[in-house]
Amino acid sequence: MNRLTRIAAAACLAWPVHGQAPCTLGVARDATGHPVEGAALRFYPAQSPARGSDSGAAHASTGRSRRDGRFRFDVTADRGCLVAEHRDAGSAIVWVEADVPRVVTLAPPATLRTSNGSSADWFVLYADDEGRRCRLPDANGPSIQLPFGQYQVLVRLDGSFALHDLELKPGSTRALSPPRSPSPRLETRGRALGRVAPLGFDDVELPIDGHSVAVPETDRIAEVVEDVRQGPCTARLVHWYDGRSELRRLSSPEVSFSKIALRGQLDDVEIESIDASGDAPEIRSRSGIDADSFAWFVPVQKPHQAFVRIRRPGTAPIVLRQPPPPELVVQFEPEARLSIRVLGADGVLESPAEVVVDQAPFGNLTTNRHTNQRGEAEFDGLSPGTTQLRVKHGSFRTAERRIELEPGHQRILIELEPGLTLEGTVAREGRPVPNAIVELRDPTDPESTRLVTSDARGVFRFRGLSDGSFTLFAWLDVGADTWSARISEVSPSESVRVVLELEDPPLPGRR
């Protein structure tokens, strides 16, 4: 067991029990490899690949490194970015996964400033070529400092916007010029809400003027949000828009409304109408209740591609495929509960398994939990019907099962099967490399990426693999330099030798 693995066992106890927050852990070092004491650490959750999220400031978890540089603190998500800052050692930002040890090497921060010295609003997204994104806190002023890395930065200056793709080096300074002309304005049929920004910045509030809103020029997909009213009802339309096109007026679709009457207690009822089409504005609506008829009015658009989802605590979610009739009475049914017990070899699990419950027929509802020390995971608020189960564990093959879920409480036992092992060594300049980060990716399943660290002899192992071909990355930060390697095709049950080379710039997709 190498040093970082010992940290995992001691600090996280290797068991994030049900209901307990995951943690991030590792070692903070300076450019010379010495441990950094008192580094301020902040964790920000990764954004969803499908849509951005609010500024990370509201969701940050914080911690501080100890005298030996080690750190461990609870976080709010399984994946995200970790920012480390120290007055003397500098700063760093790295991608992390919960309960996976990480070496964080600090270096002098980079500086961004406006070319004319004017104060600006800075909206920062830490991003890479693999599509991973993490929103950092917003800032205001003539300049900001960031750890070295890849970013997308949206700058608002004097009512105009500019989006920059930046790769910042340690200690570098970049001067960003304001747009040459004011940001163009986009006309909407409904009331513009002023949220128009590249994907990942969808919480940025931009200047609005009734039915007109400023648009940042960008070749990325941007969101344009507007409210369209019909009688007592309002539908919120989300348009996907390319800011570089010649389009200057949105063509909003006509939206009709269906009346859905509810039987029973109406407290805490939520109704969402979602248009899942890729070539039309998406509807996001939570309509208000009609006090006279105790009914909800739900916007309807592109009936064959939309659905309505109705939720109430203690009952199963109701999903209505469009088009609903002009008036529909809904009766709530009892929810389904599911208890899953996972067994490994000899009926024992040495660490938690991840259990995923996928109810795609009910509006793509996916829930995941980690098993507790007894190998159990509990799910409630499910819809009765066809349900897909997946169980993932680092030492076993992924197990999948399709079940018919009934109302009430149902118990399932899943036994995991041992998988194959991929073993190898990491070397640099002919010597074994301890504490190198080794990453294994399955090209057919981007969500199955695994990370381990090499031990004192440079040895690493990935267990629980299926047959197939994988891509392997390895890297090590030595001072301000990065040594890395990539092997495009490796197979389980073979021995792999990974030779690190000095990369400038680092291999694409490593960070």
| CATH ID of 336-415, from 3.30.1490.20, 3.40.30.10, 2.60.40.10, 2.60.320.10 | 2.60.40.10
* Helix (H/G/I), strand (E/B), else coil: 172: coil
Q: How far apart are CA 390 and CA 392, in angstroms?
A: 7
Beta bridge partners of 366: 358
Task: Answer whether 243's CB lies under 8 Å from 185's CB.
Answer: no
Q: What is the pLDDT of residue 152?
A: 86
Within 8 A by CB and 6+ apart from 490, the residues are: 422, 424, 440, 469, 470, 471, 472, 496
Task: Answer whether 387's CB lies under 8 Å from 376's CB.
Answer: no
Query: Comparing C-alpha atoms, which of 261, 242, 258, 259 is closest to residue 250?
Result: 242
Q: Answer whether 0.75 is exceeded by the pTM.
A: no
Q: CB under 8 Å, gap of 24 or more: what pairs does 301-306 form?
A: 301/235, 301/253, 301/255, 301/256, 301/275, 302/253, 302/275, 302/277, 305/275, 305/276, 305/277, 305/280, 306/273, 306/274, 306/275, 306/276, 306/277
Q: How far apart are CA 352 and CA 454, in angstroms?
A: 22
Beta bridge partners of 498: 426
- Strands of 231-305 (E only): list them: 233-242, 256-262, 270-275, 282-285, 289-290, 295-300
| CATH ID of 420-502, from 2.60.40.10, 3.40.1380.20, 2.60.40.3950, 3.30.565.10 | 2.60.40.10
Per the document, the length of the chain is 511
Q: How far apart are CA 91 and CA 332, in angstroms?
A: 53
Q: How far apart are CA 290 and CA 298, in angstroms?
A: 11
Q: What is the pLDDT of residue 508?
A: 47
Tokens of 186: 């986009």
Q: What is the pLDDT of residue 196?
A: 54
Tokens of 464: 């629980």
Beta strand pairing call for 420-428 and 459-465: antiparallel
1-182: which CATH architecture? Answer: Sandwich (2.60)
Per-residue model confidence as pLDDT tens for the chain (511 residues): 333 322 222 233 333 333 456 788 889 999 888 999 999 999 998 875 444 444 555 567 899 999 989 998 888 888 889 999 999 999 999 988 877 888 899 999 999 999 888 999 898 989 876 668 888 988 999 999 999 999 988 888 876 777 788 999 999 999 988 766 666 666 666 666 655 555 567 666 665 666 666 666 655 555 666 666 665 556 666 666 555 544 445 555 555 555 666 655 555 666 665 555 444 444 444 444 444 344 455 555 544 455 666 766 667 777 766 555 556 666 667 788 899 999 987 777 778 888 988 886 554 467 788 888 888 999 887 888 888 998 988 788 888 899 998 888 899 999 998 888 899 999 998 899 998 889 888 877 766 778 888 999 999 999 888 888 899 988 887 776 788 888 888 888 788 999 988 865 554 444 4
For tokens 């690190």, the residue is 500
Tokens of 488: 């495009």
Same fold, 1-182 and 420-502: yes
Q: Which helix (H) or strand (E) holds 3?
A: helix 3-7
The total of other beta-carbon atoms located within 10 Å of residue 118's CB is 12
Q: How far apart are CA 29 and CA 183, in angstroms?
A: 43
Domain ranges of the chain: 1-182, 190-330, 336-415, 420-502
Within 8 A by CB and 6+ apart from 452, the residues are: 438, 440, 460, 461, 462
